[in-house]
Structure formats: structure tokens, C-alpha cells
Structure 1
């Protein structure tokens, strides 16, 4: 029998942005356990804004598990929060109720800042570094410093060793700003792996005494980029059938549901989506081929392939909940695909 370190990880009840929480228990198994072997486990919901002190029990239901490469015999256990009966989803459990479809593919581009002593990593104690320009995909100490690349490379290795579908990294436009990409088939799977990748990054940064700042516009109204979590998406129908009439119908649905999208694309997005720094205004929908300043960027390949392939929604921000972001995108696509017989439109009708 091997004693495994089970790190149970969940999202708390803080609003508008939940925090990642984790605690460990030790369980013995003959070999690496299956998901079904992992027990439901309780926690004090009064300490996470998920219960009152007089009735504080909440339950953690394992829904995905990954090997923990940072711990000997470690397992990362992603959980949904349930009520004390272990069956009813807690109100904060957004994953339990989102629209999902295995034919829907998502690629999230997570931007963020490294912060040290209350300022972006590499910023001087007072004022600002030289203007944006050399930092994007930069190399050398003056562009990326001495520690950031060490962290992002180590984070990349941790994700890959855990089996998370991490697809790449790059330094971003602002000093101290970076990005990693996560891909998944199905909104739940893609969002699960984004949350786990965030957790691994935050835990890794503890040993470097550096924080991860996800706020979409941490430097306020300055000439420095904010952070997004651009969502690349497609459905089976988009990839195999498509066509210009379908595309136009899809864009009309996105335009119609503008405010529903903005409501779940992350707080303070009005501070980021200003029409500057390659963003579209938060209250106006637009799309364009290869246009990084549009709400939806349409790749050249999509148009050349008879309007088939994937699209990129550039409005979700860096602190948004990928469960809600993916679900809202799917709801809007299902509206456009209604009557086509697509699996997504059928899933929406069943929901």
C-alpha cells in the first residue's frame, strides 16, 4: 500500500471572482487511485464564504484528478462544492450547471502579471520602466528580467507532467506580463484544466515570493496593456459545415447577446475594453478578419476555408471564470445552430 497525498482543490464563494482553495489528506491505495476511489471530503464553508458558522459543513466532490509532479506520491484532486448531503450542488458551484458539449473545443489564452512588493515584476520602485515595445516575446534581462522565465518554464513542466493540456507560453506586451495557453475538448474539461493550471502557477510562485496578479487592468488608466483570457472556440458544426450564412447568423447572435457575455467575462472589463490597446469597447460588438481590436477576431484561415474552423473572442478577461465564459459562448452558438441538428443545439434544448 502507498500513502498518497491528496490535494483537494476547489473554488470558494468570493464574488465577483472566486479564489482557489486547497487542503491535503493522506489515503493509502494499492496503486494510483481511480477517480471513483477518491472519497467525498468535508470542509468549513464559513471560512470560504460558502456557509454560515452555525451550519458550516460543505462537501468536496472529486471530479478530476491529476498526478502532482511537485510532490512524491501526490495527487491533485479538483472538486465541485456540494451541500452537506453530498448530492446537491452548492450555489457557488458554477461547474455543475454550465452547458457542455464534447464537440465544442476551447483554447484559453491566460494573461497575467507577476507582482513583487506591490508592483509588476521588473518595475522600478518609483515610476515606470521604458514604454511597451521590447517586452512582447522578448529575450534578455532588460526585457524579461532574471526570474520570470524560470517560473514560466517550471510551470509549463508541472502542467505537462500533470497531464494538463498546456499548449505554450510567451512574454506579453507589458513589463512583467506573461501568458500561457490551455486547450480542451468540452467546456468543462477546458475550464477544469485552466483552473488547475492557475493553481499550479500560484502554488509555484510561493517559493519565489512572487504573486500572480490576474486583475484585467492592474495599472489603471495608463498606457500599459491590460490582461485578457482570449477564448478560441469552435463546435463540430463550425469545423465541418460552417458557411458564410451560418457565420453571419452566428455574429448576429453574439451581437444580440452582447450584455450577457460582458456580464460573465470578468469584472472591471470596462476598464480594459476601452477601444485602446487592441480591445473593442465593452458596450459595442464588432468582428473582423485578423482584427485584434474587434470583439471577435476572425482568422484568415476561417474565411479561406469557406467559413469553417475556429473563432477568437477577445473580450473575456484574465480574472474571468472559464466555466461561465465557455458556457455563455456555447449558449450563444446553440442559438445560432438551432434547427441545424447539431449536437450543441440539442444539448441546449435538453438543458
Structure 2
């Protein structure tokens, strides 16, 4: 038998952006445990805005697990928060109620800033560095500094070793800003892996004395980019059938539901979606082929393939909850019956 370090990870009750929480218990298993082997556990919800002190018990229900490459015999355990009966989802548990479909594929592009001493990594103590331009996909000390790439490379290795479907990294438009991409099949699977990737990044930077700033516009109303979490999405029907009529009906449905999307695409999006810095205004819907300034960017490959493939919603921001983002996108897609448009035509 081997003693395994089980890191139970969950989202707390803070709003509008929940925080990741985690605590460890030790359990013995003869081999790396299956998900079904992992027991329910509890925590003090009065310390995480999920319960009152006079009745503070909350329950953690394992829903996904991964090897923890930073620990010997470690396991990362993504959990849903449940009420004391272990069966009723807590009101803060968004994962339990989202729309899911394993045929719906999501690719999230997580942007973020490294922060040190209250400012983006590489910014001078006063004022700003040279204007944006050379930092995006930049190389060299003057563009990326001495430590950022070391962290993102280490984070990449951790994600891959954990079995997270990490698809790439790059320096972003602003100094101190970076991006990584996570892909998954199904709302829950894609979002689980994004939250675990965020957790690994936050835990990793502890040893470097650097913070991660996920706010979508940390530098405020300045000529510096904000951070998004662009959501690339497709369904089986979009990938195999599609068609221009179906695509246009889908875009009408997205336009009709603009408020519902913005409501879950991350707080303070009005600061980021201004129509500047390659963003569409938060209160106007648009789409265009290869248009980085549209709400939804339509890849050339989508059009060239007979309006089949994936689309990119550029409005979700870096603070957004991927559970809710993926669910809202899928809900909107589901309102356009597959095949109905083609039959009507």
C-alpha cells in the first residue's frame, strides 16, 4: 500500500469571482486511485463564504482527478461543493447545474499578467515601459524579462505531466502578459482542466514571489491591453454538417442573447470590451471573418470548409468561470435545432 497525497480543490463562495481553495489529506491505496476510490470530504464553509458559523459544514465531492507532478504520490482532486447531505449541490456549485455535451468542444485561451510589487512584471517603479508592439510572442530579455518564460515553461510541463490538455503558450501584447490554451471535449471536462491549470499556475508562482493577476483590465483606462479568455467552440453538427444558413441562424441567436452572454463572461468586461484594443463593445454583437475586433471571429478555415468547423467567441474575459461560459455558449447553440434550417431551405 502507498500513502497518496490527495489535494482536494474547489471554488469558494466569493463573488463575482470565486477563488480556488485546496487542502490535503493522506489515504492509502495499492495503486493510483480511481475517481470512485476518492471519498467525500468536508471543510469549514464559514471561512470561504459558503456557510454560517453556526452550521459551517460543507462537503467536497470529487468529480475529476489528475496526477500531481509537483508531489511524490500526489493527486489533484477537482471537487464540487455539496450541502451536508453530500447529495444537494451548494448554491455556489455552478458545475453541478451547467449544460454539458461531450460532443461540444471548447478551447480556452487564458490570458493573465504576472505581477510583482503591485505592478506588471517588467514595469518600472514609476511610469510605463516602452509601448506595446514588441512584447507579443516576443523573445529576449528586454521583451520578456528573466523569469517569466521560466515560469510558463514549468507550468506547461506541470500541466502535461498532470494529463491536462494544454495546447500552447505565448507572450501576449502587454509587457508582463502571457497566455496559455486548454482544450477539452464537453463543458465540464474543458472547464475542469482550465481550473486545474489555473491552480497549478497559482501554486507554482508561490515559490517565485510573483502573483497572477487575472483581472480583465488591470491597468485601467490606459493604452494597454486587457486580458481575455477567448472561447473557441464547436459541436458535432458544426464540425460535420454546418452550412451558411445554419451559421447565420446561429449568429442571430447569439445576437439575441447578448445580455445573457455578457452576464457570465466575467466581471468588469465593460472596461475591456470598449471597441479598442481589438475588442467589440460589450453591448453590441458582431461577427466577421478573421476579424479580431468582432464579438465572434470566424476563421477562414470555417468559411472555406463550407461553413463547418469551430468559431471563436472573443468576449469572455480572463476572470470568467469556464463552467458558465461553456454552458451559456452551448445553451445558445442548442436553441438552433440542428438540421432545421437546412430542411426549411
Q: Which interval holds the TM-score relative to the shorter structure? A: over 0.9
What's the counterpart of residue 53 of structure 1?
Answer: 53
Inter-partner Cα distance in structure 1 for 2:122 and 2:184? 33
Alignment partner of 1:64 is 2:64: yes
What SS does structure 2 have at the residue aligned with 1:207? helix
User: Whole-Å Cα distance in 2 between the matches of residues 120 and 325 of structure 1?
Assistant: 27
CA distance in 2, matches of 1:338, 1:183: 24
- Structure 1 match to 2:222: 222
Aligned residue in 2 for 1:104: 104
Change (3 A) 1:130 1:54: same
The alignment yields a C-alpha RMSD, in angstroms, of 0.9
Instruction: Give the match for residue 309 of structure 1.
Output: 309
1:260 correspondence with 2:247: no
**Residue number in structure 2 paired with 1:190:** 190
Q: Return the TM-score normalized by structure 2.
A: 0.98
Could you list the runs of 4 or more consecutive aligned residues of structure 1 that deviate by over 4 angstroms after TM superposition?
A: 338-341
1:170 aligns with 2:180: no
2:95 and 2:59 map into 1 onto residues whose CA distance is 15
Where does residue 346 of structure 1 map in the other structure?
none
Alignment match, 2:43:
43
The CA distance in 2 between the partners of 1:182 and 1:319, in whole Å, is: 15
2:74 matched residue in structure 1: 74
Corresponding residue of 1:243: 243
2-structure distance, mates of 1:31, 1:103: 31
- Structure 2 residue aligned with 1:128: 128
Q: Return the offset for 1:336.
A: 1.4
Taking the aligned partners of 2:337 and 2:318, their CA distance within structure 1 comes to: 28
Matched, 1:232 2:244: no
Aligned to 2:332: 332
Is the 2:274–2:282 contact (alpha carbons within 8 Å) kept by the matching residues of 1? yes
The answer to whether the Cα contact below 8 Å between 2:237 and 2:338 also exists between their aligned partners in 1 is no
- CA offsets, 1:111-149, max 9 Å, x none? 000000000000000000000000000000000000000
Helix, strand or coil for the counterpart of 1:336?
coil
CA displacement at 1:25 relative to structure 2? 0.4
1:339 to partner: Cα distance = 6.5
Structure 1 counterpart of 2:13? 13
Confirm or deny that 1:143 pairs with 2:143: yes
1:273-299 deviation digits (Å, cap 9, x = unpaired): 000000000000000000000000000
CA–CA separation in structure 2 for the residues paired with 1:240 and 1:28:
46
- Does the CA contact (< 8 Å) of 2:98 and 2:323 recur in 1? yes
Partner in structure 2 of residue 152 of structure 1: 152
User: Structure 2: how far apart are the matches of 1:313 and 1:187?
Assistant: 15
Q: What is the distance in 2 between the residues matched to 1:299 and 1:113?
A: 27
CA contact (8 A) 2:10 2:79 kept: yes
The question of whether the paired residues in 1 share the 8 Å contact of 2:82 and 2:90 is answered with: yes
- Give the count of matched residue pairs: 341
Report Cα offsets for 1:36-58 as digits up to 9, x if no partner.
11000000000000000000000
In the alignment, is the contact (CA less than 8 A) between 2:43 and 2:60 conserved in 1? yes
Unaligned 5+ residue runs, structure 2?
none
Cα distance in 2 for residues equivalent to 1:235 and 1:246: 12
Query: Cα offset for 1:337?
Result: 2.4
How far apart in 1 are the matches of 2:327 and 2:177?
Answer: 27
Secondary structure in 1 matching 2:335: helix
* Contact 2:287–2:296 (Cα < 8 Å) also in 1: yes
